[in-house]
Structure 1
């Protein structure tokens, strides 16, 4: 059992309009297991239909195994990978785009709340035509 599966707080008093559903530690582990090989993505600057996003991600990321795309709220999507090689390539490769718009990519983490996330950075390509060779370095 992982320690981070036991640290969730359960509210003391239930709001009758929004009841809580308690889970046992072993249930949490079982439910979260499949998401440990997932990334959370968001397309910046444009909204696309779910099917368009799903097809594009399958074409660029599902090279060695299947992926499963799940729509979250606020324009975020969770992408589960059946292949670790595909997961690593998607997480570390890029930058990735859909329809010319950049995709932010972050590892899944428990308790991810799209309402409170600030997109602070993403990988982009920058082109400097005519830049002298001596100024090109990491």
Structure 2
């Protein structure tokens, strides 16, 4: 059992001007349940109005269900999914962008605090114009990607050699 799942204990020297309010573990679990299908999102390098971000995320992610999008601080947003399929597609779907700016996404975490969040990695789509046809295959693409970082996914058209 995690420390955070235990009932909060009120310290004996609690300051009456700023009291500590205890919550039971069952309450915390119940309140957190809806956040299990949520993502924390940030646009890298640009600030867009909330409505622009909300409309774009609705367009790209809400295929089977609906999204509830809320603005957090420090440029982060939380996106709650009603469809597990939509959630999984957003997580595994590849590099997401708004205009030419990449989105960082990560699953919601307990006691989420955007002030402490660090963006360490993001998935990007690498395009290699002019790559000769004989090099358009999974093995070559994965080798090229290994020089950038690591290959997460090769699109189907590249795997099949349908497009250059």
TM-score category by the smaller chain? 0.7 to 0.9
How far off is 1:98 after superposition?
1.0
How far off is 1:137 after superposition?
2.9
- 8 Å CA contact 2:7, 2:23 repeated in 1: no
Q: Aligned with 1:137: secondary structure?
A: helix
Structure with larger Rg: 2
Normalising by structure 2, we get a TM-score of: 0.74
**What is the correspondence of 1:109-128 to structure 2 with a 5 Å cutoff?**
109-128=109-128
What number of residue pairs does the alignment pair up?
Answer: 136
Relative to 1, partners in 2 of residues 1:131 and 1:114: Cα closer, same or farther, differing over 3 Å?
same
Q: Hey, what's the Cα distance between the residues in 2 that align with 1:48 and 1:15?
A: 41
Gaps of 5+ in 2: 143-164
Residue in 2 that maps onto 1:92 = 92
Over aligned residue pairs, what C-alpha RMSD do you find? 2.2
Residue in 2 that maps onto 1:48 = 48
Gaps of 5+ in 1: none
Relative to 1, partners in 2 of residues 1:36 and 1:137: Cα closer, same or farther, differing over 3 Å?
same
Q: Higher helix fraction: Structure 1 or Structure 2?
A: 2
Taking CA–CA contacts closer than 8 Å with sequence separation of 6 or more, which of the two structures ends up with the larger relative contact order? 1
Normalising by structure 1, we get a TM-score of: 0.87
Q: Hey, what's the Cα distance between the residues in 2 that align with 1:115 and 1:94?
A: 26
